[in-house]
Copies of this chain bind each other. A is one copy, B any other.
């Protein structure tokens, strides 16, 4: 076979696997958005079969042989094809390392742990969840051994969400973040004259809120010919190819801003997915680099843009029009204060920009300690509560509002949480460069002209798909590896001004 025909066969086989994954994504989307309740059992079986078939197709011997041939002939490939082979080989090696029996055992443990977690949270009983989490932890050690790692076994788990990231690197970033964000939060909590937010009290018309989300997405440059926004219990973004990217959102009559910021956040994810190149479709190159980089896109739109004063200079009158008689006389500055209100709280998903990373770092530290055997599962509540006191100054009244609040551990997704905080750090570091490259950015935002920003992101981030690692991307753009400085500076300046704090 010539190298061209090997490549053609390789792309065709790989394309089938991608088609199967995309099909599964359609089924997942429908499950969250439209599926009637009694459809759940059959849907579970359909998804299990799709995932098993995709796994079998991807890990066939033929795929290994094709990858071997193409890797050997890498110098004859053009850079795009060489990159595709490299990325696919990386995925292939990870996927073939886990025996099917282990994958099944893990799936069973996940289901059981999820059910136990739901019950444990409802009844505020950590003991109900504990044996399941212990089982998950055993399996995660087994998984780490199958996958291999250097240093901490936690690195094997991190790799799944943030290729190349290590505990050592994260500690270097997060220790600084924890210290300076804790200090900032303490200052804010003790600041005099908190803003009066009585005007934000609901109820707020739901249709008007939905209209606002659609308008914002349109303004951001989200292509509704290549996507749509629907309602779901938990907002998320998924895609079935770069020309069919679905967002979901929710509307609460009690909260004027949650749907709006949900749209900015999911819209950020969605713009990333819509920005992959047509020619990368049906290959693993058309995907986000890592969860951290994906999150950098959503956080940038949600926070750096959607919680900026220029943004509200444009959208304050828009909201006034959408809620007639309800927002008269409320200034852009008041909106700006309201959407940036800082209030340490127990629940991560309700956390503001200043406290969010602290919730994440707390989880990261517990996860590493669990994997490294420094604490036992039974000790989680105690560790959790101590850290909440340390970082946020809060007493945790119940495990339901503490260590049982998140779904992630019941899924066995240890290593996932850090990517949320990385997203914030990446976003700020990129944004610093964006402000240098686009000196008129704030004027553009004030005019809801997001085309220059989107153009910059398309050119520097989106179009590369998975051609770079997160570290390469950040370094290529900013000249430095990921660092905590830009985010901390951004926070300290913004909130220092907002809360009238004395310098740094």
Q: What is the interface of chain A, defined by CB distance below 8 A to chain B?
A: 15-16, 19-20, 22-24, 26-27, 30, 34-39, 41-43, 45-46, 48-50, 52-53, 57, 223-228, 230, 240-241, 243-244, 281-282
Contact, CB under 8 Å: B243 / A38? yes
Closest 4 CB pairs of A and B: A39-B244, A42-B241, A19-B49, A38-B243
Complex Cα–Cα for A227 and B42 (A):
13
Known contacts A26-B30, A43-B240; 18 additional CB pairs below 8 A are A19-B50, A20-B53, A22-B46, A23-B24, A23-B27, A30-B30, A36-B225, A36-B226, A36-B244, A38-B225, A38-B243, A39-B243, A39-B244, A42-B241, A42-B282, A43-B244, A53-B53, A53-B57
Complex Cα–Cα for A53 and B57 (A):
10
By a CB distance below 8 angstroms, the chain B residues around A52 are 16
The dominant DSSP class at the A interface is: helix
Interchain CB contact (< 8 A) of A224 among B24, B36, B57, B227? B36
Contact, CB under 8 Å: A39 / B224? no
Query: How far in angstroms is the closest Cβ of chain B from A296?
Result: 25
**A36 in contact with B227 given A46-B22, A243-B41 (CB within 8 Å):** yes
Query: How far in angstroms is the closest Cβ of chain B from A267?
Result: 15
Complex Cα–Cα for A459 and B324 (A):
57
Contact, CB under 8 Å: A49 / B34? no
Contact, CB under 8 Å: A50 / B36? no
By a CB distance below 8 angstroms, the chain B residues around A45 are 15, 19, 282
By a CB distance below 8 angstroms, the chain B residues around A281 are 42
Contact, CB under 8 Å: B240 / A42? yes
Complex Cα–Cα for A38 and B244 (A):
7
